[in-house]
Amino acid sequence: MTGYLTTHVLDTARGIPAAGLRIALYRIEGEARTYLRHAVTNAGGRTDAPILPEAEFRIGSYELVFHAGAYLDAIGTSCHGTRYR
């Protein structure tokens, strides 16, 4: 079986794609969580290439971690005066 992994991130509060958002990819195997790579969204809220390309794809469990706190800091947004990390 072949496949690949992509994502599309929207900033629904502002009604635009979430550009410049860092995303980390992990593979989950049993209790192990292994970092694979990171990507950053482009102006369209997508990554320029699949986060996990077809040549590296294998069936399993993956986790995408969206660094939303850093994104919100970068655009000058906070919630109730608290900066997210």
pLDDT tens digits along 12-33: 989 999 999 999 999 999 999 9
**With 0-12 CB in 10 A as exposed, 13-18 as middle and 19+ as buried, what is 5?**
middle
pTM of the model: 0.83
First to last CA, the chain: 37
pLDDT tens digits along 35-66: 999 999 999 999 999 999 999 899 999 999 99
- Per-residue tokens: 36: 């694979």
